[in-house]
């Protein structure tokens, strides 16, 4: 008896160890297999939980859209999982997509990554153009195209875009002897980015001490590039960044502004740059609507109402997100319905009112949430109509899978060097060398 | 007794002419004992393997398999977006490392940052340990404080250091300003950035090493100091002629551990300029091998290239290990 007890104990321990190890080993593989267990509304409490994988604060929750949907559909509950930075979110998403495991029901994709997802992961994602209630004509045409594969499969629905204008400080412009009315300011540089830079030269002559005309070389370069009809890839998908004259001239113009000290030398969204905002050290910044929220977050109280928004020389797009539904998600049908509702014009307008994410649905531009939008930083400026005007003139620019890598190279390994005293040509060489090394497979 | 057949004649060997062993009739008790004994033997022989198996199974799954898979991937052109789609590339990923300026730049940075972080770190640790070895009030408090940086997460520490090393509003430049120091761009200039990143490493690991030295110092027999004192050696001479020689094995240990740590430097430089992330500064001025590997694999998604870099780093580490071994053996022989 005694031995058999001991034996069974020992076997039990062994079994436990074995179970633990095999459990660990097969744990990952189990994910995709368990799909059918919890699908549909069989989730115990009779509720289906739709999960969203998001990056950063996208504002759906803050705008009350989840609660609204849950009220409309009492059998649904919605849960979001947020990873703060897209640099961390996106590699994990790609990893999950390639292994078809660990995916949420809805996954957000940033505009900088959408081309790569469209080209490499489309087979893992649902074609949302076929879902009932999705109407292609709701979206700006180029926004719709960005998430559509060559064979016509649309894998993501746009939530917002980033039509770019120039936000400027009225007080600093006045102090430097420039006009401060937004229409006059727009006229200063209408149609030509080099006029913006020469306005900067003018600003510099009588600039309040310690301030510069613009915030950072990266921001200026980004603004110029985004308004070009072609950027880094041509329509056939070939990398053309080095031979595209628009890229080189944008680079040179930015380098010139950097050399003349018209821009600060801090990279955007870094602590140093945040401090520039809070100390009111620059007079203008290329800004999509969401930037106003960022500025507000970093500004001291006395900056409220000092800002205004003028049109950019040529409008471009900065930012924007798509929502995709992975095929291996647990509640594909429910997720499709939810995404359709969430990206409808009415919801996009509500998101703009709260979060400043500008609608990618033109029919939302006439809605009261957009036309009546006011922003604390810009006083009474009708930002909804100003950005809507910019949105309408954004060019249809081919975006490629490695746009982000190329742009980051041009900014962080390129124009930023000019602020350190390198010549524009040297900076260009460093940037292209880095980019080519990063693109090489 | 003599009736027992099995004692009557020796057993025939295989192929022998003697009759086969007759069936033994045993009591149940005997049978149970035999069974127990067999079990006991099996237990003795196999149980240890069962007990160590979890580690080895996990090692095979999470250590050996990735190692081999990485080796296999390094011979292919393969992208993170489609890891199953491999194209045979032979040794191409390795041969291009030889004229990859970015790799050698990263290797050089890893070496220089390894030196400017490890050397002051160990020297300061030794000094601190020597001071802590005196009789102090609240010595436990000081010892715990020494370990505090080690317990802080790299991310949190780096964020604070980024603020301290800010160019325009950083505290260090502000302090330098008072002593007439210049306007140092800690993130964008080569040596300042390397020194800044190294300072995070130094801050984090000095206390840890100091405690190791302290433990070793307290194991040094007191009578050695007494006899040294009788010979007229002052504190400084005691430190040099008694403490240091006694600490030699410990110093070697910390050197090896710090070298390995330095060659894998990753978190600090990654966090130091979060905007440029893995590129380690505008001109890659503080990009380490770890960062370069990460950049190729996870930012640019070239799994094949990243695997080749990982294997090359592995080989470099082996070489460093051998050099360490040779030096320590020489030192042991000479003493």
Residue-wise pLDDT for A51-84, tens only, equals 999 998 888 998 899 999 999 999 999 999 999 8
The DSSP code for A423 is -
User: Residue B20's pLDDT is what?
Assistant: 60
Nearest residue in chain A measured CA to CA from B282: A413
Cα–Cα dist A350/A345, whole Å: 9
Hey, are the CB atoms on B167 and A10 less than 8 Å from each other?
A: no
> A14 by DSSP, 3-state: which?
helix
How many residues would you count in chain B? 335
The pair phi, psi for residue A134, each rounded to 5°, is: -90, 120
Cα–Cα dist A33/B322, whole Å: 47
Nearest residue in chain A measured CA to CA from B283: A413
Hey, are the CB atoms on A430 and B82 less than 8 Å from each other?
A: no
Element at A286 (helix H, strand E):
strand A282-287
Per-residue pLDDT at A23 exceeds 50 = no
Element at A309 (helix H, strand E):
strand A307-311
Residues 6+ apart with CB under 8 A from B4: none
In chain A, the percentage of residues whose pLDDT exceeds 90 is 59
Give this complex's ipTM: 0.76
Chosen from B92, B301, B303, B306 to mutate, greatest number of chain A CBs within 10 A: B301
Q: Which of A217, A213, A226 is nearest to A284 (CA)?
A: A213
Chosen from A6, A122, A412, A417 to mutate, greatest number of chain B CBs within 10 A: A412
User: Residue A373's pLDDT is what?
Assistant: 85
User: Residue A32's pLDDT is what?
Assistant: 38
User: Residue A36's pLDDT is what?
Assistant: 39
Q: Which of A248, A79, B271 is nearest to B290 (CA)?
A: B271
The pair phi, psi for residue B291, each rounded to 5°, is: -65, -40
Cα–Cα dist A276/B181, whole Å: 22
Element at A50 (helix H, strand E):
strand A48-55
Residue entry with tokens 């400026």:
A381
Query: Is B36 near chain A, with CB under 8 Å?
Result: yes
Residue-wise pLDDT for B52-101, tens only, equals 999 999 999 999 999 999 999 999 999 888 888 899 998 999 999 988 99
- Picking from B57, B81, B279, the nearest residue to A412 by CB comes out as B279
Cα–Cα dist B94/B312, whole Å: 8
User: Per DSSP, what are the bridge partners of residue A284?
Assistant: A168, A214
Hey, are the CB atoms on B84 and A98 less than 8 Å from each other?
A: yes
User: Residue B193's pLDDT is what?
Assistant: 92
How many residues would you count in chain A? 441
Decide if A377 contacts A303 (C-beta within 8 A).
yes
Task: State mean pLDDT over A250-263.
Answer: 94
What are the CA-CA distances from residue B312 to residues A13, A413, B9 (Å)? 41, 26, 69
Query: Is A272 near chain B, with CB under 8 Å?
Result: yes
Q: At what angle do helices A345-355 and A65-72 cross, to 10 degrees?
A: 150
Identify each DSSP E strand in chain B by its residue range: 76-77, 87-88
Residue-wise pLDDT for B91-127, tens only, equals 999 999 988 999 999 999 999 999 999 999 999 999 9
The DSSP code for A399 is -
Q: Which of A140, A131, A269, A435 is nearest to B274 (CA)?
A: A269
Query: Is A412 near chain B, with CB under 8 Å?
Result: yes
Q: Which residue did the predictor score with more confidence, A266 or B94?
A: B94
User: Residue A25's pLDDT is what?
Assistant: 43
User: Residue B11's pLDDT is what?
Assistant: 56
Decide if A146 contacts A122 (C-beta within 8 A).
no
In chain A, the percentage of residues whose pLDDT exceeds 70 is 90
Question: How many secondary structure helices (H) and strands (E) does chain B include?
Answer: 16, 2
User: Residue B13's pLDDT is what?
Assistant: 59
Cα–Cα dist B315/B306, whole Å: 14
Pairing of the two strands A106-110 and A48-55? parallel
What are the CA-CA distances from residue B89 to residues A302, B98, B301, B307 (Å)? 61, 16, 16, 13
Q: Which of B108, B74, B109, B100 is nearest to B89 (CA)?
A: B74
Cα–Cα dist A90/A108, whole Å: 9
> A300 by DSSP, 3-state: which?
coil
Q: What is the mean pLDDT of chain A?
A: 86
Cα–Cα dist B284/B190, whole Å: 9
Nearest residue in chain B measured CA to CA from A419: B188
Element at B178 (helix H, strand E):
helix B171-178
User: Residue B17's pLDDT is what?
Assistant: 58
Residue-wise pLDDT for A139-185, tens only, equals 998 999 999 998 999 999 999 999 999 999 999 999 999 998 999 99
Per-residue pLDDT at A21 exceeds 70 = no
What are the CA-CA distances from residue B294 to residues A169, A195, A197, B106 (Å)? 40, 41, 37, 12
Neighbours of A403 (CB within 10 A): 22
Q: What is the DSSP string of A222-282?
A: HHHHHTSS--SB-TTS-B-TTT-HHHHHHHHHHHHHHHTT-B--PPTTSHHHHHHHHTT-E
User: Residue B335's pLDDT is what?
Assistant: 65
Q: Which of A206, A312, A221, A296 is nearest to A263 (CA)?
A: A221
Element at A160 (helix H, strand E):
strand A156-163
Task: List the pLDDT tens digit at each of the 335 positions of chain B.
Answer: 445 555 555 555 555 555 566 666 667 888 888 888 888 888 888 999 999 999 999 999 999 999 999 999 999 999 888 888 899 998 999 999 988 999 999 999 999 999 999 999 999 999 999 888 888 888 889 888 888 998 888 888 888 898 888 877 788 888 888 887 777 888 888 899 999 999 999 999 999 999 999 999 999 998 998 999 999 988 888 888 888 989 988 998 898 889 889 988 998 998 887 666 688 888 899 999 999 999 999 888 899 999 999 999 999 888 988 988 888 888 778 76
Q: Residue B258: is it exposed, middle or buried by C-beta count within 10 angstroms (0-12/13-18/19+)? A: buried
Task: State mean pLDDT over A418-438.
Answer: 92
Hey, are the CB atoms on B284 and A268 less than 8 Å from each other?
A: no
Query: Is B151 near chain A, with CB under 8 Å?
Result: no
Task: State mean pLDDT over A335-359.
Answer: 92
Global pTM?
0.79
Hey, are the CB atoms on B275 and A420 less than 8 Å from each other?
A: no
């Amino acid at each position: 008896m005694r031995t058999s007890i001991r034996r069974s104990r020992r076997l039990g321990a062994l079994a436990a160890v074995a179970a633990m190890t095999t459990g660990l080993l097969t744990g990952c593989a189990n994910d995709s297999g368990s799909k059918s267990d919890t699908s549909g509304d069989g989730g115990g409490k009779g509720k289906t939980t739709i999960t969203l994988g998001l990056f950063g604060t996208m504002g759906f929750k803050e705008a009350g859209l989840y609660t609204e949907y849950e009220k409309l559909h009492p059998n649904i509950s919605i849960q979001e999982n947020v990873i703060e930075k897209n640099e961390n979110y996106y590699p994990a998403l790609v990893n999950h997509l390639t292994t078809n495991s660990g995916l949420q029901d809805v996954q957000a994709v940033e505009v900088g990554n959408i081309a790569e997802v469209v080209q490499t992961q489309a087979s893992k994602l649902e074609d949302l153009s076929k879902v009932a209630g999705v109407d292609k004509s709701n979206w700006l045409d180029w926004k719709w195209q960005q998430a559509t594969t060559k064979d016509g499969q649309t894998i993501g629905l746009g939530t917002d875009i980033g039509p770019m204008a120039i936000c400027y400080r009225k007080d600093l412009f006045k102090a430097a002897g420039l006009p401060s009315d937004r229409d006059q300011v727009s006229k200063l540089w209408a149609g030509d980015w080099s006029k913006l830079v020469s306005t900067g030269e003018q600003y510099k002559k009588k600039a309040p001490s310690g301030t510069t005309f613009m915030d950072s070389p990266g921001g200026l370069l980004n603004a110029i590039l985004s308004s070009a009809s072609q950027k880094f890839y041509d329509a056939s998908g070939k990398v053309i960044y080095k031979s595209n004259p628009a890229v080189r001239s944008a680079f040179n113009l930015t380098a010139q502004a950097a050399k003349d000290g018209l821009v600060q030398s801090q990279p955007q969204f870094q602590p140093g740059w945040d401090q520039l905002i809070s100390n009111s050290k620059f007079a203008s910044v290329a800004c999509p609507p969401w930037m106003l929220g960022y500025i507000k977050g970093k500004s001291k109280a006395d900056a409220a109402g000092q800002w205004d928004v003028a049109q950019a020389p040529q409008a471009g797009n900065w930012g924007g997100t798509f929502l995709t539904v992975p095929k291996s998600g647990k509640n594909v049908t429910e997720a499709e319905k939810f995404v359709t509702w969430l990206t409808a014009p009415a919801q996009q307008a509500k998101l703009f009112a709260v979060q400043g994410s500008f609608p990618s649905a033109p029919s939302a531009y006439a809605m009261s949430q957009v036309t009546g939008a006011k922003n604390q930083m810009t006083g009474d400026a009708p930002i909804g109509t100003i950005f809507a005007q910019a949105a309408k003139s954004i060019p249809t620019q081919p975006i490629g899978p490695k746009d982000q890598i190329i742009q980051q190279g041009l900014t962080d390994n390129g124009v930023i060097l000019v602020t350190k005293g390198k010549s524009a040509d040297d900076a260009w060489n460093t940037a292209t060398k880095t980019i080519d090394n990063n693109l090489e497979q | 007794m003599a009736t027992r057949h099995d004692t009557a004649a020796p057993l025939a060997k295989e192929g022998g002419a003697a009759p086969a062993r007759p069936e033994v009739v045993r009591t149940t008790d005997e049978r149970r004992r035999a069974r127990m004994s067999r079990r006991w033997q099996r237990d003795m022989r196999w149980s240890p393997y069962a007990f160590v198996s979890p580690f080895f199974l996990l090692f095979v799954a999470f250590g050996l398999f990735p190692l081999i898979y990485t080796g296999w991937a390094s011979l292919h052109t393969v992208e993170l977006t489609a890891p199953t789609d491999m194209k045979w590339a032979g040794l191409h990923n390795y041969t291009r490392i030889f004229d990859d300026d970015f790799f050698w730049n990263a290797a050089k940075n890893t070496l220089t940052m390894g030196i400017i972080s490890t050397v002051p770190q160990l020297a300061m640790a030794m000094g601190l340990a020597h001071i802590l070895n005196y009789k102090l009030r609240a010595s436990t408090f000081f010892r715990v404080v020494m370990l505090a940086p080690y317990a802080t997460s790299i991310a949190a520490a780096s964020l604070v250091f980024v603020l301290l090393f800010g160019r325009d509003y950083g505290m260090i430049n502000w302090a330098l300003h008072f002593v007439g120091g210049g306007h140092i761009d800690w993130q964008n200039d080569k040596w300042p950035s390397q020194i800044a990143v190294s300072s995070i490493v130094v801050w984090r690991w000095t206390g840890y090493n100091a405690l190791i030295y302290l433990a070793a110092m307290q194991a040094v027999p007191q009578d050695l100091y007494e006899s040294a004192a009788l010979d007229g050696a002052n504190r400084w001479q005691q430190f040099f002629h008694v403490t240091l020689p006694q600490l030699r094995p410990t110093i070697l240990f910390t050197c090896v551990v710090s070298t390995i740590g330095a060659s894998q430097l990753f978190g600090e430089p990654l966090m130091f300029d979060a905007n440029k992330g893995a590129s380690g500064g505008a001109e890659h001025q503080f990009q380490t091998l770890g960062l370069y590997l990460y950049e190729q694999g996870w930012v640019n998604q070239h799994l094949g290239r990243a695997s080749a870099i990982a294997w090359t780093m592995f080989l470099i580490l082996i070489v460093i290990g051998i050099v360490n071994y040779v030096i320590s053996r020489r030192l042991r022989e000479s003493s």
